Amino acid sequence: MLLVQIVHRIKKEWQIIVTVLAIYTFYFTLTSINWPQAQRRLKSDREPVVRIKVDDSWVYRPGKIYPPEWYAIPQKPDPTCKPKNNIYFLRTHQTGTSSVTNIFYRYGQENDLKFVMNALKLNLNYPGRINMHFLESAKPAMGYNILCQYSRYHKMDALRIMPDGTIFTTLLRHPVDQFLSVFHNHGIKKEIRNLQPHHNPYEEFFKNPKKLSLMASDNVFHLIQNSMSFDLGLDPLKFTNETAVDQLIKKLDKEFHFVMILELLDESLVLFRRLMCWDLQHMIYVKLSVNNEYSTSISPEIHEKILDWNSVDKKLYDHFYKKLQGIISEQDDDFHKEVAMLKKMNADFWRECYSKVLPVFDGNKVGYTLQDTHSDNRTCKILATDDVTQTHIIGLKQFKDTLPPSDILMVRNHMQNLNKHNPAMLKWADVYKVLDPENAAKLRSDL
């Protein structure tokens, strides 16, 4: 009897029931559909690479207050200054940061400094927030000194993990060359399926860049447009907001003590060494990747479209390029002599250490062979070692008591495979000598 009443009721009010079901279905569809732009909006905060709980109740309380002179670049070297050891280096993508990071790796290891890093990883949860819980739990007794892993800039995270008096710096590159380098070295043509059949992917991409960029995978989406500004903390939804862009540049100008420019790298390094009170020999570097001038192979129309597409990066670059030129103009007469000396030191070092350059591998990596006279020179080997391997080596030192044997074996296999393409880099036996000197002889016989 009850079932008959229910059926009768449904027949009588079926329109209402159908309407309710339709409304519910429409609502469920709207809330569950994967809107690319909306889903990616703040993915780095909402769904970071590693799920982390950020303690937003933390408040920055400065300890020792440093005078403005501490952060200022002197117009001439000060022979009485003492070296600064604390560095926050925000790595931007495809801007030549591998060579600069190698300088920091070398200096840090020579002076027994501690690096902010996740064990054996090249990034700090990029493009999400830094995994503060892990870093604080793994913090050395004397604290951290250098952060030069890939991360996205967040002021409070930086202040929380770095000691007072830290020098904040980063590296920028002309937006056209930087965009083309990202496009080539991160395989954008493969990541965006619609570009794969086209001989000229740049021309095809700029027919409808907004649509095609949404088709990119999560691995590269944040690198396709204004990636330097993204790395420095700008929300992609604010790329068209002139006020937000101006505020970002003003904020970075205040919070970063020095911004280097790849096109003026030697000048930047001399200024940085004056700021840090380091010796000029600490600034020696070797190119670890090929920063091809892809801009020579594109048409003027594509060149302009790239600048328009990366207008925020262009504004950012122009501001700090002009600022760097102003700093250079204020230096003493010996500044350009130092720059010339650094270039000569780089050339002499390369000529003494390496016999030839090997074919490019892994897309844009450069390999070398050592001169017979310098086959055991550790500095020559360190300068020729890529940033991933350097990260592994430092990670082994800082986390050697907690790493499982499988991770150590992975590092050994990685180094042995890369050594085939780059014989000048550090070998596993060189690393093991430092980690376990007592067993180094036994290891050598096993290998």
132-159 mean pLDDT = 91
pLDDT of residue 31: 54
pLDDT > 90: what percent of the chain? Answer: 47
pLDDT band at 23 (very low <50, low <70, confident <90, very high): confident
What does the pLDDT look like over 191-235, one tens digit per residue?
887 777 777 888 888 888 888 888 888 888 889 999 999 999 999
Q: Does the structure show a pLDDT above 80 at 45?
A: no
The confidence score (pLDDT) of residue 273 equals: 96
pLDDT of residue 118: 87
pLDDT-based confidence at 440, cuts 50/70/90? very low
List 90's β-bridge partners, or say none.
Answer: 170
Distance between start and end Cα atoms, the chain: 86
Average pLDDT score over the chain: 84
pLDDT tens, position by position, 149-178: 999 999 999 999 999 999 999 999 999 999
Residue by residue, DSSP assigns 36-63 as HHHHHTTHHHHS-SS-----TT------
Mean pLDDT of 21-30: 69
> Mean per-residue pLDDT for 385-405?
88
* Measured distance CA(282)–CA(111) in Å, rounded: 12
Question: For residue 431, what are the contacts with CB-CB under 8 A and spacing of at least 6?
Answer: 393, 396, 411, 415
The mean pLDDT value for 260-267 works out to: 97
Alpha carbons 250 and 244: distance in angstroms, whole number: 10
For the whole model, what pTM was predicted?
A: 0.83
Is it the case that residue 253 has pLDDT exceeding 90? yes
pLDDT score at 443:
40
pLDDT band at 75 (very low <50, low <70, confident <90, very high): very high
Lowest mean pLDDT among 31-35, 48-52, 167-171: 48-52
Tell me the average pLDDT across 66-77: 91
Write down how long the chain is: 447
User: Strand 258-261 to strand 167-172: parallel, antiparallel, or no bridges (unpaired)?
Assistant: parallel
Which segment of 51-55, 68-72, 413-417 scores lowest on mean pLDDT? 51-55
